[in-house]
Amino acid sequence: MRPMRRQDRAVTAPEKIRAVINACEVCRLGLQDGRGVYVVPVNFGHTVEGGRHVFYFHGAAEGRKVDLVRRNGWAGFELDTGYRLQGAEAACGYTAAFQSVIGEGPIRVVETAEEKRRGLAAIMRQATCCGDWTFPDAAVDAVCVLRLDAEELSCKEHL
C-alpha cells in the first residue's frame, strides 16, 4: 500500500486499530467489475488471525457482489467512524474529525459450515457487541459468507 501522506494522523498500534474497527458500523466493499469499481455498503465482522485482519460479510448466494468476488477474488474496503464537521471563520479553514481504516486483500466465498458460523458470529459481535449466538443449520446452508484477508491495511484519525 502506498505510504500515508499525513503520517501525523497514522494509527499504528494494533490495539488502537482494533478499537477503531470495533467502533465502525458499516464497511464499504469495493469490487472491480471491468468498467469501474462497484462499491457496496455491508455489515461486517472482524477477527485477527496470526496477526492479520480478517473481515467477514454475509448476504445472498447470488448477485453482483458474489459474482464479482468469484470472478476477481480481490477487494478493497473502507470503514469510518466519528465524523464531525469542524467549523472555522473562513471556508478553507473547515475540516472534519474522523477515524478510518482502508485496505485490500483476497476475498472468497466461505465453503464450510464451521467457518460460516465463525464468520456469522463475528458479524453478530460487531453489530451487537455480544458473541453468544447459535445459527440453525438451514440458515447456515442458505447464507453466503465472504471472507477478506487484509494484506494491506492503514488506519488514520483526525480528532
What average pLDDT score do residues 126-134 get? 85
Nearest-angstrom CA–CA distance, 87 and 81: 19
Spatial CA neighbour of 123 closest among 49, 66, 16, 43: 43
Spatial CA neighbour of 143 closest among 101, 113, 108: 113
What is the model's pLDDT at position 4? Answer: 67
pLDDT one-digit tens code per residue, 47-93: 999 999 999 999 999 999 999 999 999 999 999 999 999 898 889 98
Residue 2 belongs to some domain of the structure: no
Task: Compare 95 and 113 and report the one with higher pLDDT.
Answer: 113
Name the domain count of the chain: 1
Spatial CA neighbour of 29 closest among 62, 1, 64: 64
Residue 108 belongs to some domain of the structure: yes
Q: What is the domain extent for residue 137?
A: 7-158
Nearest-angstrom CA–CA distance, 41 and 28: 4
Residue 153 belongs to some domain of the structure: yes
Residue 144 belongs to some domain of the structure: yes
Give the residue carrying C-alpha cell 447456515: 140
Residue 40 belongs to some domain of the structure: yes
Q: Is the pLDDT of residue 3 over 90?
A: no
What is the signed CA dihedral for 41, 44, 48, 52, rounded to 10 degrees?
A: -30
- Widest pairwise Cα distance in the chain: 59
CATH label of the domain that carries residue 148: 2.30.110.10
What is the model's pLDDT at position 38? Answer: 96
Residue 105 belongs to some domain of the structure: yes
What average pLDDT score do residues 25-52 get? 95
Residue 1 belongs to some domain of the structure: no
First to last CA, the chain: 24
